[in-house]
Copies of this chain bind each other. A is one copy, B any other.
Amino acid sequence: MRNFIKLIDENLDKFLEEKYPEEIFKSMRYSVLAGGKRLRPVLCLEACRVFGGNIEDAMPTACAIEMLHAQSLIHDDLPCMDNDDFRRGKPTNHKVFGEATAVLAGDALLTFAPQLILQKSKNLDDKTKLKLIEQYCIAAGAYGLIAGQIVDIESEGKQISAETLEFIHTHKTADLFKLSLKSGAIIAGVSEEKVNLMEEIGQKLGFAFQICDDILDETSTFEEMGKTLGKDKQAHKPTYTAIFGLKKARKEVKYLLGNVCDMMSEHGIESGIFNDIIHDIKGRAFS
């Protein structure tokens, strides 16, 4: 895991080389290289590895997905969105570079990512590259991340159904987990059945991760999380804990992660890294 993270950090640094105009690359680098658990690119590399693929072939796509994640955080934090001042213990992008540059840095990352898949995936054939870019575009756009975002915003201060919350969590969070795992499998060149299995695991893992995040927003501190907490509650944002309470939330995390473990063993997928991630989410949900 630590080895994967180191490789991902090195590659993100290399791919995002600072060029003219420096200000935009500085702003992109600030958010992309701000650390974090690199969960999504790690999932991508590991999904490729467990199916016998070469992790070097998956590196551009893994980094592209991390860039998409960073993009969504930059725009999420903007004053007109969640208006957050801190992220991972550091001032948010617009606090450092100004709003205009933060908007543009997010925009630039959105198309830098597929460009990376296209230009740097040397051993992949054209069909595979197109498949990866298609999945990327769907996950990033109005059928993916943005769909989750917009319904999330519309739901502020409203009573929403469990179905609507599921829609938000599916698209705002799980879609990137699904994209990571599916892409890894696609790069490894496995059957559609296995790609679909990865999608299902991504959905459950993403849900568990999001519910855990909702739990931590209630139970954690700024020092532990590096961002202002309790804001969802303040903004009357719908969260799993707000609708179902802390107890049911923890039960659901345990249930979903148990499901993922069952699916893995059923299909003979052995991965210390997947196990570590599952263990980590569970540990944080019950901390």
11 new A-B contacts at CB < 8 Å, known A19-B143, A23-B150, A107-B140: A20-B147, A24-B146, A80-B98, A80-B103, A100-B153, A104-B149, A108-B146, A111-B111, A114-B133, A115-B138, A129-B130
By Cβ-Cβ distance, the 9 closest A-B pairs, closest first, are A80-B99, A126-B126, A115-B137, A108-B142, A111-B141, A111-B137, A111-B140, A108-B146, A24-B150
Q: Count of chain A residues with Cβ under 8 Å from any Cβ of B?
A: 48
Chain B residues with CB below 8 A from A106, complex form = 107
Residue of B nearest to A171 (CB): B21
Contact with B along A119-144 (1 / 0, CB 8 A): 10000001101100110111011110
Q: Decide: A104 and B28 in contact? CB cutoff 8 A.
A: no
CB contact list, A81-133 vs B, under 8 A: 81, 98-101, 103-104, 106-108, 110-112, 114-115, 118-119, 126-127, 129-130, 133
Most chain B CB inside 10 Å of its own CB: which residue of A28, A81, A107, A149: A107
> Interface of chain A, helix or strand or loop or mixed?
helix
**Which residues on A are within 8 Å of B, measured CB to CB?**
19-21, 23-25, 28, 71, 75, 78, 80-81, 98-101, 103-104, 106-108, 110-112, 114-115, 118-119, 126-127, 129-130, 133-134, 136-138, 140-143, 146-147, 149-151, 153-154
Chain B residues with CB below 8 A from A130, complex form = 118, 126, 129-130
